[in-house]
Amino acid sequence: NAGVTQTPKFRVLKTGQSMTLLCAQDMNHEYMYWYRQDPGMGLRLIHYSVGEGTTAKGEVPDGYNVSRLKKQNFLLGLESAAPSQTSVYFCASSYTRNPSGEYFGAGTRLSVL
């Protein structure tokens, strides 16, 4: 069992470039989440999904899009990256709507120049 795997681990983009972050889980979890972490602000929810084919906005969704075409994968897209999107991104998953808090990816460090 790999748990929650994030790809890539590091990335540097130029302003205006696009990219997709991949989150994959092998635990058959229904719920998946994307958070961003910024200094002094903890983690904030970007988007989440309560099942295959469904997505919803979180606290800070602007500038991001997501897709959940397969149950095990949750993709986070930046269509036109901005320096304000420089952050560490964490993916999480949960089997039910009762949060276990246990399943987080290792994070993706993104710098937008």
Is 107 a residue that touches other proteins (CB under 8 A)? yes
Site string for other proteins, 8-47 (x = CB under 8 A): -----------------------x-x-x----xxxxxx--
Q: How far is the CB of 70 from other proteins (least distance, A)?
A: 19
Where residue 99 falls (left for φ over 0; alpha for ψ -120 to 50; beta otherwise) is: beta
Is 104 a residue that touches other proteins (CB under 8 A)? yes
Check: CB of residue 83 under 8 Å from CB of residue 113. yes
Site string for other proteins, 46-85 (x = CB under 8 A): --x-x-------x---------------------------
Strand ranges (E), the chain:
4-7, 10-13, 19-25, 31-37, 43-51, 54-57, 65-67, 73-78, 87-94, 103-104, 108-112
Nearer to other proteins, 16 or 53 (CB): 53
Which residues have a Cβ under 8 Å from the Cβ of 87 and sit 6 or more positions away?
36, 37, 38, 110
Kindly list the residues in this chain that would bind other proteins in the complex (CB under 8 A).
31, 33, 35, 40-45, 48, 50, 58, 90, 92, 94, 96-102, 104-107
